[in-house]
Homo-oligomer: A and B are copies of this chain.
């Protein structure tokens, strides 16, 4: 591999040197279930770390604890579960999250604040600690670099597949790796999506620089996707860098830009995979707004279109309905002028100056039968742009999200609710 060329590699969150993991089945959602639902990722070397979290005012206990630990220093281990979000669980929920961190820390010889915690699942039910706590020693005992894929399996919920993206860049003559796994399929909206993304790299990067590039990368990836317009209480993206590659990076050092590009690739690719795996979706649509007077106006238009139920329903029907798109542009809150708006669908002009074009509707219709296409909206009022990745809305999405009875019924059997 030539210097600085990025290549996509196999392997997930443990693809980079010095990271090990384990995942077990605790039956967090249902005692009789055998799927993996509790995972641990650990760096054998000291790390720097960075994280971004939901901006929902209602924050899960795990988000509060992880934010607090990151403020105190770097985290070197992450415990993550699916099946329960540990959200809206009050002081008891925070105590449970802290307890998980301190038990794991003691086993690994770390401080409790060196462990972050992520949870995803139903909101409002206490964590079934009676099933989690007895299994923590086993989780911490059997860590291995071969178990990255198990982590990817343990954190997914309504996802239909594991999401692993890993890359290698040759920097200063040495291979530097970034490994990641991610979950998310519903309750996805900027900023951020209902998602967990864990990223581990063997580059060495000072905390301040890692913070800067992770926040910038998340802004252009996870904050640019929406499936259902519903922002979760639990969104978390955590990045750990351990320097095990022997390559130290900082702005200005050789290979810095390549590393940043590689990290951005990993984050954006994971964000797109969440959209592609959206709950019961059939389309992956890129909404690109150009010609806006400000970046904020561009963002409002893109979000207005990407969140419109009527626009999304028409995409589900393979209907190139530019009338619904322009109606959403109009109510997006942006100061648009109808008579200046141009809309292209899948590369063909559908609307010019706010009116229909001569493009045959059958041509447009044929193109939106594809699983992926782009909607390009030119406001013709300036130079600013924004892009958002989104999906259709399907009858099956609504049907899938009609009920979480199963969670409540199990919680009642567990004595955690009445």
Contact = CB atoms under 8 A, between A and B. Distances in A.
Residue among A85, A323, A393 with the highest chain B CB neighbour number at 10 A: A323
B417 A338 contact: no
Interface string A319-356: 10111101111111011111101000000000101111
A225 to B, nearest CB: 15
Interface in A386-418: 393-399, 401-405, 408, 412, 417-418
A175 interface: no
Contact of A57 (B85, B123, B335): B335
A346 B328 CA distance: 33
A335 B318 CA distance: 39
Interface string A33-51: 0000000000000000000
A232 B316 CA distance: 20
Copies in the assembly, this chain: 2
Interface residues of A, number: 78
A271 interface: no
Interface stretch (A110-118, A135-143, A209-217, A357-365): A357-365
**Interface secondary structure of A, over-half rule:** loop
Contacts of A360: 418
B124 A322 contact: yes
A229 interface: yes
A125 to B, nearest CB: 7
B232 A327 contact: yes
B401 A398 contact: no
5 contacts: A189-B331, A309-B397, A310-B401, A314-B402, A319-B402
